[in-house]
Amino acid sequence: MKQSKLMGVLAAATLASALFAVDASALASRTFVASTGLDANTVTSCGRGAPCRNFQAAFGQTTPGGEIVALDSAGFGTLLITGPVTVTTLPGETAFVNVGGGSTGITVSAASGDNVILKNISFNGAGAASTTGVLVNSGKVVVRNCTFTQLTTGFFGTGFHNIIDSDFIANGTAITANGEGADTQVNTNGTTTGVKISGGNVVGNNTAFFMSSPGLRTCLNCTGNKINLYIRLLGNSAADFSTNVAGNTVFAGGSGTGCLQAFDCVNPGNYGGTTNPK
């Protein structure tokens, strides 16, 4: 009898280990969502032949550093990202994230060194109150070929991020950089926050660019604020932006530490070169 009970315990333990192994190995480096998908397809890791319906379901089945791919143009829900991942679409398709009042489309709360890439995604707040397209609490984010419209805030980023060839149209505030930036009179490296914009359009927003608490310069005989938001230049002119900036009620503003005087936080920094430098 004792031997029979022992064998039963061992069998149960073996089964549990096998189930755990299957579950752990079920994650895929590339998962898929589609307008015809089902979130129940997480049991087969949201494969291309059986895609999931929403981003969040697919994220749970994607290995760190993997990809979530939208197979067609549709809305795929909001998403909380807690690790490195690429969220993109097949060529010619657009993933839509409709942002309801008081909510955020994609929230990134990853480790500080985790790379997150968002491509070909359209965020729309439909004019509802307290909406944010992308909110970055932590992690390193690249936004490429995305659209942000009718949101309270299009992009709100803490840390180092790049926004490339993306459109911000008719938002309350298009882009906000939050956190201590660079003292450009001393050194542009080793700072906490820097959001860089290259290409695309920032058109018809109430405020185009907003620096939140970029910090104060600390060098001798310096006054004014540090900078945590940058626009790429095509040439040597301070107005020679690679990004089309037009029709915004306020070009740039700010609040918090470093934005105490009228001339603070009203001029984003700029950078040049054919390659986007770190």
- DSSP of 188-242: SSS-S-EEEEESSEEES-SEEEEEE---B--STT--SB-B-EEEEBSSSSTT-BS
> Is it the case that residue 260 has pLDDT exceeding 90?
no
pTM, to two decimals: 0.88
Joined together, the tokens standing for residue 161 give 């991020």
Q: What is the mean pLDDT of residues 161-165?
A: 97
| Residue 39 CA, distance from chain mean position | 23
> Which residue has tokens 């290995």?
63
Bigger pLDDT: 210 or 24?
A: 210
Residue 24: pLDDT band (50, 70, 90) is very low
Least confident of 49-63, 154-168, 228-242: 228-242
Given this model, what pLDDT does residue 271 score? 87
pLDDT tens figures, 173-197: 999 999 999 887 765 555 688 999 9
> What gap in Å lies between CA 155 and CA 254, rounded to an integer?
15
pLDDT for the residue numbered 77: 98
Task: State mean pLDDT over 43-53.
Answer: 97
By the 8 A CB rule, do 56 and 77 touch?
Answer: yes
Give the span between the Cα atoms of 116 and 159, in whole angstroms.
12
Report yes or no: 58 and 50 within 8 Å, Cβ to Cβ: no
Q: What is the pLDDT of residue 236?
A: 80
d(CA 48, CA 67): 12
- pLDDT category of residue 228 using cuts at 50, 70 and 90: very high
Structure tokens at 136: 């970055």
Average pLDDT, the chain: 88
Give the count of alpha carbons within 13 A of 11, CB side only: 6
Question: What average pLDDT does the segment 220-234 reach?
Answer: 84
pLDDT of 107 above 50: yes
List strands edge to edge, sheet with 201-203.
74-75, 95-98, 121-124, 147-149, 167-169, 201-203, 244-246
